[in-house]
Amino acid sequence: MGNHNAYILCLHLFSFLVLLTGTQVVQSSSHHQNHHSRYRQVGLSKLFVFGDSYADTGNNPKSVAKSWHEPYGITFPGRPTGRWSDGRVLTDYVASFIGIKSPIAYKWIKFGPKLLSNGINFAYGGTGVFNTLAPQPNMTTQINFFQKIIQTGVYSKRDLDSSLALVSLAGNDYGAYNARSGTAQGLPAFMASVVNQLKLNVKRIHEMGVKKVAVTTLQPLGCLPQNTLLSYYRHCNATQNMAVNFHNFLLKQAVQQLNNEVKNSTFLLDLHSAFMSVFKKRNSSGNVKFSNPLQPCCVGMDASNSCGSTDQLSGKKKYRVCKHPKAAFFWDLLHPSQAGWHAVSLVLHSSFNKLYS
């Protein structure tokens, strides 16, 4: 796409008056075994993770994060573990792709130093490349944590050479922009600044010695349950998804620039395409895998509550959970279920071929 077309797209975005309202994402089979052996041959043995709740496996504080309370974790492992889902999240499936266990969450490394062999997960739910509404470490600070770990000498150059970094950006910067009364006119420039900071972050991770960095595209935010609620979870918000397309256009340009500087150092995990593919995917019987993929499994009993809410005095549950979480793509208003992430991971398999290039 040329600069003229990009400019025209920016003009369309000026009409985008309300962006991502409330989108504060505070966010093995034998087939897998074949992939495991294949990636081991490439030599990947560690995973370092940066980002938000789509990748967080337990860094958010227990005192404030609903991910540490029921019903989160009911599918896997049967109790809350700090993951924003009923079970596994993106990080778990990426780790599975390269044949290792999920890396330990950064906040727990002092309790399990022997568990550092698989890498470290620095992602915190609710965060972005800039400071958001969540008082947790942004991506720059997460990378600072990584730098300090490297300086201790716990990882050798060989360790870093054989590692993969996963960088997740699920939209919290844009939710914060909207909450802080950001204007439609200023949105394109802000989106450019988000992607530029993301590019700098990826470049910095690579300069620390990590040879391969996987960056997620922005998922179709207009299809998140919180944004399809008014249509009874039947229709995505096309205007919001148009803004997502612009972010992803800028991101693809940034990744191309990074690869021009260091050949094949960075590749995209196209969550946007994967989500849309799963929404439309049909099984051998001709039926869609998820009968209504936009409808979440766990919701609050009213508008003032959400998944995991309880009465502060009695402790009574203020949410309800569907009978079959495995049949739901979305777990809550923002996050995929384990079944959703599993379906997305199957679509993303082809992306990992770029690890060989």
User: Any residues with CB less than 8 A from the CB of 184 and at least 6 apart, and which?
Assistant: 13, 14, 15, 16, 17
167: pLDDT strictly greater than 90: yes
In a domain, 138, yes or no: yes
pLDDT at 111: 83
The stretches of 16-138 forming alpha helices (DSSP H) are 30-42, 90-97
Question: What is the phi-psi region of residue 58: left when phi exceeds 0, alpha when psi lies from -120 to 50, beta otherwise?
Answer: left
Joined together, the tokens standing for residue 281 give 């995917």
Is residue 332 flagged as an active site residue? yes
Residue 262: what pLDDT? 87
Q: State the pLDDT at residue 321.
A: 97
Q: What percent of the chain has pLDDT over 90?
A: 78
Assign 178 a pLDDT band (cuts: 50, 70, 90). very high
Catalytic residue among 309, 335, 337, 345: 335
From 201-205, 247-251, 312-316, the region with the lowest mean pLDDT: 312-316
Number of domains, the chain: 1
Q: What is the pLDDT of residues 123-166, one digit of tens each?
A: 999 999 999 999 999 999 999 999 999 999 999 999 999 999 99
Quick one: which H or E segment has residue 215?
Answer: strand 212-216
The one-letter amino acid code at 125 reads G
pLDDT of residue 82 exceeding 80, the answer is: yes
Considering the chain, what percentage of its residues have pLDDT values greater than 70? Answer: 85
User: Is residue 332 situated within a structural domain?
Assistant: no
Say how far apart CA 119 and CA 357 lie, in whole Å.
22
Q: What is the DSSP letter of 355?
A: G
121 lies in some domain: yes
From 53, 85, 163, 168, active-site residue: 53
Has residue 34 been placed in a domain?
no
Q: Is residue 4 part of a domain?
A: no
255 occurs within a structural domain = yes
**pLDDT on residue 14:** 38
Question: 181 catalytic, yes or no?
Answer: no
Q: Per the structure block, which two tokens stand in for 229?
A: 């609620």
Q: Which pLDDT band holds residue 6 (cuts at 50, 70, 90)?
A: very low
Segments forming the whole domain that contains residue 270? 46-291+349-355
Residue 104 lies in a domain: yes
Q: Catalytic one among 52, 56, 92, 332?
A: 332
The pTM assigned to this predicted structure is 0.89
Q: What angle do CA 142, 145, 151 make, to 5 degrees?
A: 145
Using CA of residue 129, residue 350, residue 245, residue 337, what is the dihedral sign?
Answer: negative
Single-letter code of the amino acid located at 257: Q
Angle at 280 between CA 195 and CA 285, to 5 degrees: 150
Mean pLDDT of the chain: 88
Q: Which amino acid is at 208?
A: M
Query: Two tokens at 125?
Result: 């739910």
The angle formed by the CA atoms of residues 334, 336 and 338, to the nearest 5 degrees, is 150
Q: Which residue has the tokens 């993969």?
A: 164
> At 155, which CATH number?
3.40.50.1110
Across residues 96-116, what is the average pLDDT?
A: 90
Question: Does 316 map to a domain?
Answer: no
Instruction: Name the band, by pLDDT with cuts 50, 70 and 90, for residue 113.
Output: confident
